[in-house]
């Protein structure tokens, strides 16, 4: 069985009206089976429940899931007096049997991060998916990845993991994941984050990855899209189930 997946940090509502159509055009063209989203937002000022619903209103995938992760109290560094969150989400061609958000312990920042675990139903059996967004500090990202891998082992699952790992050093990723996982940027190197006026990093770096458990999946192709609809570049993977 072959799966085409995309992971993308949507960048919340930053410059959203100028980016939205470009994002929709890209996702329509790629026609992936499953799309992992990070930093999808929800706001009481929007007519949609969240950006997953807003995006999928046009794409019309049969299944979707969204979970709030972090409460936003500021917008462009100015306090806001309305409810706004950002979180994690999926749209999928496959039926979602289970959706569960797992909050991870903060490390250096008093800010919520975590992952969204999904179970999808396919003709070849159920598949576990984990959409991650870790703390944007080196120490925090490493500790939260370790916590996530520990959770996976406790659940005894073999997942596809994708998202914004916030890990700049690939060697840290290799060390924590060990020999059990295949890592996207080792198949084809890429930079997934381009600096903006709002970002701390001023040079292109890699923060976004797709990793799969080797006993169940094989990554056959990786693409990193240069002309991105976000400050992060979409990562596309063709994955074969074993």
Domain ranges of the chain: 2-241
| H-run or E-run covering 23 | helix 16-30
Distance CA 114, CA 102 (A): 6
Measure CA of the first residue to CA of the last residue in the chain; give whole Å. Answer: 8
State the angle between helix axes of 170-177 and 138-155 in degrees (0 to 180), rounded to the nearest 10.
Answer: 20
pLDDT band at 202 (very low <50, low <70, confident <90, very high): low
| Cα dihedral value 220, 27, 128, 141, nearest 10 | 90
Tokens of 152: 């996976």
pLDDT band at 35 (very low <50, low <70, confident <90, very high): very high
Q: Give the model confidence (pLDDT) of 134-143 as tens digits.
A: 999 999 999 9
- Number of Cβ within 10 Å of residue 106's Cβ equals 15
pLDDT band at 197 (very low <50, low <70, confident <90, very high): low
Q: Give the model confidence (pLDDT) of 6-33 as tens digits.
A: 999 999 999 999 999 999 999 999 999 9
Q: Give the model confidence (pLDDT) of 81-99 as tens digits.
A: 999 999 999 999 999 999 9
pLDDT, position 198: 59
Q: Which CATH class is domain 2-241?
A: alpha beta
Which stretch of 93-107, 143-157, 184-198, 207-221 has the lowest confidence by average pLDDT?
Answer: 184-198
Q: Give the model confidence (pLDDT) of 47-60 as tens digits.
A: 999 999 999 999 99
């Amino acid at each position: 069985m072959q799966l085409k997946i995309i992971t993308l940090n949507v960048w919340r509502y930053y410059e959203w009206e100028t980016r939205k159509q470009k994002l929709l055009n890209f996702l329509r063209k790629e026609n992936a089976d499953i799309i992992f989203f990070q930093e999808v937002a929800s706001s009481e000022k929007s007519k949609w429940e969240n950006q997953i619903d807003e995006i999928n209103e046009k794409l019309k995938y049969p299944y979707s899931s969204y979970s709030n992760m972090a409460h936003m109290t500021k917008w462009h560094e100015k306090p806001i007096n309305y409810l706004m969150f950002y979180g994690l989400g999926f749209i999928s061609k496959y039926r979602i049997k289970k959706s569960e958000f797992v909050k991870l312990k903060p490390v250096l920042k008093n800010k919520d991060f975590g992952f969204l675990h999904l179970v999808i139903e396919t003709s070849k059996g159920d598949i576990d998916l984990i959409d991650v967004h870790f703390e944007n500090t080196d120490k925090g990202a490493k500790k939260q990845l370790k916590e996530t891998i520990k959770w996976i082992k406790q659940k005894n699952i073999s997942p596809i993991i994708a998202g914004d790992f916030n890990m700049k050093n690939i060697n840290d990723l290799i060390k924590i994941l060990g020999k059990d996982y295949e890592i996207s940027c080792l198949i084809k190197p890429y930079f997934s984050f381009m600096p903006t006026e709002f970002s701390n990093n001023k040079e292109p770096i890699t923060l976004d990855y797709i990793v799969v458990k080797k006993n169940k999946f094989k990554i056959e192709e990786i693409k990193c899209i240069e002309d991105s609809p976000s400050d992060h570049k979409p990562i596309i993977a063709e994955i074969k189930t074993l």
